[in-house]
Chain A
Amino acid sequence: MTAVLDAPEAPAQGPARAKRPARSKRRAGTPRRARPAPQGPAALISSISTMVALLCVWTVLHLLVFADVSHAAQDLLFREFRVQLAAATAPVDGTAAPGAPVAIISIPRVGLEEVVVEGTAPGDLFAGPGHKRNTVLPGQVGTSSVYGRAATYGAPFADLSTLVTGDLIDVVTGQGEITFTVLGIRRAGDPLPQPRAASAARLTLLTAEGAGRFAGLRPGKTLYVDAEAAKGFPSPGGYSPAVPESEEAMARGIESLPLVCLCLALLTALALGVIAARLRWSVGLIWVVAAPVTFALAWASTDAAMRLFPNLI
């Protein structure tokens, strides 16, 4: 964790350093006297805390604000899925590729309407709720699991804990529309729901929630919402018998570690590049060239790093 938090610091340092002299340079022409560069331990502390602050603020901003853009991929997914529904090519079995839309879920009571994508790895859930790949699709006979984030990336399932027994959940899949009735909310230690009837379709929504003060910012425990429809669609099968560890609830994987390293390496290279460019180019040019690249790389490395964190938060 610390390693991860520290890592983006180094590249972030580059642009920051490059910026500061630039600003003083520009203002050198003004009557104001040039400020001497800080010296000694104070300067070190100042630099480090600035970097840490930038990093933290950026990450928080990314998770809570910018990442809504990832979640905005919903519009594209919705369009794609709508076309598939119209063409009757929407997946009805386990053949959908991870990330592809498989259903539309809406809970009128909490104003939720989301396109469900295939797969529950942390990265899949950036775009919206994800269908766990070793369960049947929502609406099919059997028990289907759908995971959704509670706090970050648009927080589609933030309000699940307000659901009560009897609330309706509408699901549209390639097999048609089906309405589930919420059976109840479960937390750790609560009894599992009654075994479902043979022809029933069950849907379990999973998300995370926190406790105490700032509960909304502390999604650490899994919350289950069970819902059931009396008559499910037939299941054609073909689902994978198991999923990787990283697709289980609250699980995280290290699959994206190489990607994180690559992004950080690129950020470092960018920083070095900016330093080198500072010797030749004007400050304005560097800003124009480096800022978007920095922004994109920072974005990519944060997304990659977030794959190392639990999928439901």
Chain B
Amino acid sequence: MNPRAGRLRRMLVLGTAAAGLGLAVVPAVPSASSAPAGGDAAVVSVAAPEGYARTRTITREILDTSGQTDANLSTSYDVTVKANRTTNLRGRERVEISWSGARPSGGRAPNPYGEKGLQQEYPVVVLQCRGTDDADLPAADQVRPESCWTSSWSQRSFIDERYGAWTQDRYAPAADRAPVTGLDPYPAACPTPEPALGSTHITEFVRKDGHVDNACSSTQMPPEAGVDAASPPAEVAAFTESDGKGSVQFEVRSNVENESLGCSDKVACSIVVIPIVGISCDKPVGATLTRIERECRKSGVFAPGSSNALGTADQAVSPALWWSESNWRNRFTVPITFGLPAGVCDVLDPRPPTKFFGSELMAQVALQWAPAYCLSKKRFNFALSQMPDAAGWENMESGAGPAAFVSSEQARLGPDPVGYGPTAVTGFGIAYTIDRPGNGGSYGDLRLNPRLIAKLLTQSYTGSSLGRDHPGMTGNPVAIMTDPEFIDLNPGLSQNAQEAGATLLSLSVSADLMHQLTSYLLTDKDATDFISGKPDQWGMKVNPSYEGMDLPVAEWPLLDTYIPAAEGECLKQNPSVYFTQLAAPVSTLRTIAELLIDGQPNVQTRCEYDPATASYKLGRIERQSFGARFMIGLVSLGDADRFGLRTAALKTSNGRYVEPTESSLSAAVSLMRQGARYEPFAVSQEKLVAAKDAYPGTMVVYTAARLANLEKAQADKVASFIEIATTEGQVRGRGNGELPTGYLPIRRTGATAALWRAAQETATAIRAQEPPAGVTSPQPGSGPGVAPAVPPAEIPGAEVPKGDKGGATVTDGTVPTAATVATESAAGGILLPGLMLIGGLAVASSIVSRVLSARGGRP
């Protein structure tokens, strides 16, 4: 994938979208209807090769006094660098950069990110830079050290460095070897350099808008580089193992996260990978080496694989000089492109959005699908409005939106039948960010069983000394890392308890996903026994607040009310439920995923003192330090894949642990059966677990829409959406309209064939808006339900349909509607006349009888 191919692809994408064509129509999956016409669709149908791989030789060539290459000091490596994804990246997406053949690193820092990774030897520096490596481009569009992002000035500039090895760089032009180099003229805002003390070099940062940051102190950096900025440093000086291999999940930032860097769908950027092999030093001046010449020739003080807690690395082989010509010329430039931003349809499409309400499981795929709809004049402005499945369902039933995304059967509240069109196969995952002890990198084989998940969800770990005195939980482990059951399953992890290890970061709102997770807990006897109050074999008991809890639930309740006895002033001022602060659920899965990337637990137990008000307040605890991170959270598989999060293998049966993979999702889908036409597919968790290889977190997301009384235009939109989503929308890819990883493609053949057929059937029925007689109406009560937002009685006079009244008159362009039902009341019609008539008669009768009797009584 080179930059030219990237441009070609972007042009094609835009051209195709403007022509109203689908992005990718793969011959194997022809569109069921509305097949795009036009020639160039076939061109784009071939997905561009994803990723990057390149091998080149990188060298350190040190000259001896005679001007020849010193064979003893010079080194050369054939390094291969790979990146797993390079196109249509989104902000905060993580790209796996891996390499082989590099020089093993020494003096590993506990945290290799940002300035904390500077004191290392022979690392591989990975940076995000604006521009690409193309000599044909104007200088401003080329990648250069000044357009590379670092989150601190000390990663790019040196002021009065005593022995600046870069001044000996044989590849640097003579002008760059002077005592004061870099930004010219030397900015007045920077400390005045003293050439007598040492060398000064400034690698300024040029923002997207052309503004130049002097980068000579923390105040001379772009705003995104502030101390403790919202996003932690992404640039990394990563380790190479002793076999020459290494890898890192590199987080890219779009102009939303980093405006100064400014990468977007319109601004080309690159990931620059620089395996550090050291400065190539020039010929010494005299016969004996000066101090600075010796410094330049140094080859490190740390053994390969060793750790560096406090020591100072040799500057010549450290990542601090990544910008020097010797290192910069060894770079691998991975060109990356960014996808359209999330709000592109709001900006580019003047039509009002057609909102589909519901499941957040659709978030990542909707991000890619939406532009394929809104940029086409023939389609509509599709938008996903995330909300709990049940709420989305109610909106759909009440007519607030044409369709809902749900992932289980919902209780029908309205009068109209509803069809479920399978749209995406994905699921939930238990993601984690766990570091191996002793600087051993991150852990990637987490296994969990239902009982461990139940222990986390029921808040049965004490968290810290504050929870230790919780009644009924004495003797329980402090956190999952000290639970013998967890240690058995996941040996070799640190057993230093952290509060974040006592909780599974989860959702505060209702979701079908939580319903499925809690159903999974029910499949395991150990887990149900534990919840019902039976201690596990190590004596751990369930938190009494959750004992005997009814499962499954769509919304996990926070039931504990234990307020620990206050010791410190802070807790006395802020008495609060400790276990609720530990759990601190959030409202979206995306938040959980981002917190996991950052290693930022949501535990709200940090005491802060505010001198202004002389009071304490509770807040979120610090980001976990790199190397000692331990966080577990509930995520969607789409997010997990987008952000490069690892997900745990879940226990099924026969001692197996299944990870979410394409095959384990397929295995689960193949067990699902449809109840009746237009109804969702269902499979019990018991069957999934019994199947051994099926992933228990597999979920099908349906587009649910009414089969009757849906406005024609809306019905057409929903039907075409399902058809497009299940054909071209199921083609794997990173482009607009394609299916991201984390979702299993629904295909016409294979395990998903039944889903595909059901989707087409439902789409046809939604378009027709005439439910066949065979449709059964599911009884309410199976799913989570709330009071309807808008009452069902839509049109007065139609509440009680009776067929015997006159037919509707249909005029052109209108929808035939039923006849108004007669609502009559005989009593209403005759009350007043009747009263008057009887009254009149009675008056007459009274008068007549009186007159008669008076006459009769007279003699």
Give the contact stretch, choosing among B292-300, B692-700, B832-840: B832-840
Q: Report the stretch among B176-184, B662-670, B851-859 that lies at the interface.
A: B851-859
A313 to B832: give the CA distance in the assembly, Å.
9
Q: B791–A310 contact, CB under 8 A? A: no
B828:A220 contact, CB within 8 angstroms? yes
Q: Are B822 and A309 in contact (CB under 8 A)?
A: no
Please report which residues of chain B, range 384-415, place their CB below 8 angstroms from some CB of chain A when the two chains form the complex.
398-401, 413
| B714 / chain A contacts, CB cutoff of 8 Å | 198
Q: Which residues on the B side are within 8 Å of A152 (C-beta)? A: 832
CB distance from B692 to the nearest CB of A (A): 45
Select which of B792, B819, B846, B856 is within 8 A of A192 by beta carbon: B819
Contact partners of A45 in chain B: CB under 8 A: 845, 849
Partner of A241, one of B787, B814, B828, B835: B787
**Which residue of the partner chain B has the closest CB to A57?**
B839
Interface string of A51-83 (1 = CB under 8 A from B): 111011101100110000000000000000000
Task: Scan A167-202; emit 1 where CB is below 8 A from any B CB, else 0.
Answer: 000000000000000000011111111110110000
Q: Which chain A residues lie closer than 8 Å to B608 at the CB level?
A: none
A134 touching B857 by the CB < 8 A rule? no
Known: A43-B853, A191-B817, A192-B818. A220 touches B797 (CB 8 A): no
Q: Which residues from chain A contact B806 at a C-beta distance below 8 Å?
A: 189
Are A218 and B819 within 8 A (Cβ)? no
Contact residues in B for A286 (Cβ distance below 8 Å)? none
Q: Which residues of B contact A136 (CB under 8 A)?
A: 790-791
Nearest neighbor of A210 in chain B, beta-carbon distance = B829
A42 sits at the interface (CB 8 A): yes
A312 at the interface (CB under 8 A from B): yes
Question: How far in angstroms is the closest Cβ of chain A from B670?
Answer: 39
Asked if B11 is an interface residue, CB under 8 A from chain A, the answer is no
A219 vs B824: C-alpha distance in the bound complex, in angstroms? 9
Q: Does A235 contact B (CB under 8 A)?
A: yes
Tell me the minimal C-beta distance from B148 to chain A in angstroms. 48
Q: Which residues of B contact A5 (CB under 8 A)?
A: 835, 838
Chain A residues near B853 (CB-CB < 8 A): 38-39, 42-43, 46
Distance to closest chain B CB from A280 (angstroms): 30
Query: A258 near B: Cβ within 8 Å?
Result: no
A74 to B770, CA, bound (A): 46
Partner of B808, one of A134, A188, A192: A192
Chain A proximity of B819: nearest CB distance (Å): 5
Asked if B796 and A145 make an inter-chain contact with CB atoms under 8 angstroms apart, the answer reads yes
Mask: chain A, 226-261; 1 = CB below 8 Å from B; 0 = not: 000000000111111110000011101000000000
Say whether A204 faces chain B, with CB atoms less than 8 Å apart.
yes
Q: CB-CB < 8 A to A241: which residues of B?
A: 413, 787-788, 791-792
Q: How far is the CB of A9 from chain B (nearest CB, A)?
A: 10
Within 8 A of A (CB), among B791-838: 791-799, 805-806, 808-810, 814-833, 835-836, 838
Interface contact B818-A191, CB-CB below 8 Å: yes
Contact of A49 with B828 in the complex, beta carbons under 8 Å:
no
Report yes or no: B787 in contact with A237, Cβ–Cβ below 8 A.
yes
Knowing A57-B839, A313-B831, say if A237 contacts B788 (CB, 8 Å): yes
Question: Who on chain B is nearest to A42 by CB?
Answer: B853
In the complex, A241 Cα to B824 Cα: how many Å? Answer: 24
Q: Is A125 an interface residue (CB 8 A)?
A: no
Q: Which of B797, B818, B857 contacts A36 (CB 8 A)?
A: B857
User: B residues within 8 A CB of A52?
Assistant: 838-839, 841-842, 845
CA distance A68 to B481 in the complex (A): 78
Query: By the criterion CB–CB under 8 Å, are B857 and A192 in contact?
Result: no
**Interface pair B787/A217, CB less than 8 Å apart:** no
Across-interface contacts of A187 in B (CB, < 8 A): 820
Q: Does B466 contact A (CB under 8 A)?
A: no
Which of A53, A252, A312 is the one whose CB lies under 8 Å from B843? Answer: A53
A198 pairs with B796, CB closer than 8 A: no
**Which of A219, A224, A237, A248 gathers the greatest number of chain B CB atoms within 10 Å?**
A237
Q: Are A134 and B791 in contact (CB under 8 A)?
A: yes
Chain A residues whose CB sits within 8 angstroms of the CB of B846 once the complex forms = 46, 49-50, 53
Given contacts A60-B832, A135-B791, A241-B788, are A38 and B857 in contact (CB under 8 A)?
yes
Distance in Å: Cβ of B150 to nearest Cβ of chain A: 47
CA distance A134 to B793 in the complex (A): 7
Query: Is A132 interfacial (CB 8 A cutoff)?
Result: yes
Bound Cα distance A6, B265 (Å): 85
Does A117 count as interface, using CB distance less than 8 angstroms? no
Whether A42 lies near B836 (C-beta < 8 A) is no
CB of B817 within 8 A of CB of A219, answer no
Shortest distance between the CB of A308 and any CB in chain B (Å):
9
Question: In the complex, which residues of chain A have a beta carbon less than 8 angstroms from the beta carbon of B789?
Answer: 235-238
The one of A36, A236, A242, A313 that contacts B825, using a Cβ cutoff of 8 Å:
A313
Given known pairs A52-B839, A193-B817, the reply for A220 and B825 (CB within 8 Å) is yes
B209-266 CB contacts (< 8 Å) to partner A: none
Per-residue 0/1 for A1-12: is the Cβ within 8 Å of any B Cβ (1 yes, 0 no)? 100010000000
Known interface pairs A49-B842, A57-B839, A60-B835. Does A190 touch B820 (Cβ–Cβ under 8 Å)? yes
Indicate whether B709 reaches chain A with its CB closer than 8 angstroms: yes
Q: Knowing A50-B846, A192-B818, A198-B399, say if A312 contacts B828 (CB, 8 Å).
A: yes
Q: Does A154 contact B (CB under 8 A)?
A: no
Q: By the criterion CB–CB under 8 Å, are A249 and B796 in contact? A: yes
Indicate whether A191 sits within 8 Å of B835 (C-beta atoms), given known contacts A132-B796, A237-B790, A313-B828: no
Residues of the B chain whose Cβ atoms lie less than 8 Å from the Cβ of A248 = 799, 823
Residues of A contacting B856 with CB < 8 Å?
42
| In the complex, A221 has a CB within 8 A of chain B | yes
Hey, which chain A residues are within 8 Å of B833, CB to CB? Answer: 214, 217-218
**B795 CB → nearest A CB, Å:** 5
Across the interface, which residues of B come within 8 angstroms of A1, CB to CB?
A: 827
Measured between alpha carbons, how far is A235 from B345 in the docked complex, in Å? 26
A63 to B839, CA, bound (A): 14
CA distance A141 to B833 in the complex (A): 41
Q: From B806, B809, B833, B839, name the one whose CB has the most chain A CB atoms within 10 angstroms.
A: B839
Question: Does residue B711 face the partner (Cβ distance < 8 Å to A)?
Answer: yes
Q: Which of B810, B814, B823 contacts A188 (CB 8 A)?
A: B823
What residue in chain B is nearest A220 (Cβ atoms)? Answer: B829
Q: Which residue of B lies closest to A58 (CB)?
A: B839
Task: Tell whether, in the assembled complex, residue B787 and residue A252 are in contact, meaning their CB atoms are under 8 Å apart.
Answer: no
Q: Is the CB of B821 within 8 A of A188?
A: yes
A104 within 8 A of B: no
Q: A53: which B residues are within 8 A, CB to CB? A: 839, 842-843, 845-846
Is A195 a contact partner of B709 (Cβ separation < 8 A)? Answer: yes
Interface pair B818/A221, CB less than 8 Å apart: no
Nearest chain B CB to A48 CB, angstrom units: 8
Q: Any chain B CB within 8 A of the CB of A294?
A: no
B residues within 8 A CB of A143? Answer: 793-796
Q: Are A42 and B849 in contact (CB under 8 A)?
A: yes
Q: Is B850 an interface residue (CB 8 A)?
A: yes
Contact A60 B794 (CB under 8 A): no
Q: How far is the CB of A231 from chain B (nearest CB, A)?
A: 12
Is A60's CB under 8 angstroms from B815's CB? Answer: no
Q: Is A206 among interface residues, defined by CB-CB distance under 8 A?
A: yes
Question: Which residues of B sit under 8 angstroms from A121, Cβ to Cβ?
Answer: none
Having A197-B711, A222-B823, A241-B788, one finds 12 other A-B pairs with CB under 8 Å, namely A38-B849, A45-B845, A46-B846, A52-B841, A189-B806, A189-B819, A191-B816, A198-B711, A220-B827, A240-B791, A309-B831, A313-B825
24 pairs, CB–CB < 8 Å, chain A vs chain B: A39-B853, A42-B852, A43-B849, A43-B853, A46-B845, A48-B842, A49-B843, A59-B835, A132-B796, A134-B791, A143-B796, A190-B819, A204-B795, A217-B832, A219-B828, A220-B824, A220-B829, A220-B830, A222-B822, A241-B787, A241-B788, A250-B828, A312-B825, A313-B832
6 A-B pairs with least C-beta separation: A220-B829, A56-B839, A188-B822, A237-B789, A53-B842, A49-B845
* Residues of A participating in the B interface, judged by any CB pair closer than 8 Å: 1, 5, 35-36, 38-39, 42-43, 45-46, 48-53, 55-57, 59-60, 63-64, 132, 134-136, 141-143, 145, 151-152, 186-195, 197-198, 204, 206, 208, 210, 214, 217-222, 224, 235-242, 248-250, 252, 309-310, 312-313
